[in-house]
Structure 1
């Protein structure tokens, strides 16, 4: 998350792409919505990666000498929690796009 977020923030895809970058119908309306969403998503995604990495490492350190079953359960729980948090950047970027652009991608 940290690496991908920083990469998208610092070197966002220059052209609207169906393959790479933050791709939603709203973000792909035009060049301005594309650039706005890439920068915002990249910044939030990288920050969220930094926020999630420490608790993830700490939790796994706490169970490192436990049984394989315990480590697996804690690992899966950590992944599920991270997946829940991963939706935040999407919600944030879509709200920001809706707040700053109309349905045709024109800045408000």
Structure 2
């Protein structure tokens, strides 16, 4: 395996693996160790379940795209890879957080009640 491919597998591949684990084994109860933990997400169990489901689905999709894009760059782009795979990782996480927070705002009030 060349250095670029190793770099992509250890960054983007690891994120994809973790996103799959989070998707397959979401946290059952509100806790401080495992799951999507923001103050709004931890207001009650209904929001916790919704936030973790939304975040895990988004992260799985965007981490998969990130991994494929990183593999594409490592395989077909002849330039040296430095920051690009890590930028894909960063963007995957940021987009997943933004989408989850937007979904929480659209579906729940600030007090933790479901919007109609």
TM over 0.5: yes
Q: Could you tell me how far 1:55 is from its partner in structure 2?
A: 1.5
SS in 2 for 1:86: helix
Q: Which runs of 4+ in 1 moved over 4 A?
A: none
Q: Could you tell me how far 1:98 is from its partner in structure 2?
A: 0.8
1:54 to 60, 65, 68: 68
1:82 to 89, 100, 106: 89
For normalisation by structure 2, the TM-score amounts to 0.76
* Residue 45 of structure 2: aligned partner: 31
For structure 2, the residue ranges without an aligned partner over 5 or more in a row are: 1-14
10 and 77 in structure 1: CA distance in 2 versus 1, 3 angstrom threshold: closer
SS in 1 for 2:62: helix
* Residue 111 of structure 2: aligned partner: 104
Is 1:41 equivalent to 2:55 in the alignment? yes
For structure 1, the residue ranges without an aligned partner over 5 or more in a row are: none
For normalisation by structure 1, the TM-score amounts to 0.81
Provide the C-alpha distance between the structure 1 equivalents of 2:93 and 2:82, rounded to a whole number of angstroms: 16
Residues 47 and 112, structure 2, Cα contact 8 Å, conserved in 1: yes
Note the aligned Cα RMSD (angstroms).
Answer: 1.8
Q: Could you tell me how far 1:99 is from its partner in structure 2?
A: 0.8
Residues 29 and 45, structure 2, Cα contact 8 Å, conserved in 1: yes
Task: Please list the CA deviations of residues 3-60 of structure 1 after superposition, one character each: whole Å capped at 9, or x if unmatched.
Answer: 3223323321111111111111111111000000111111111111111111101211
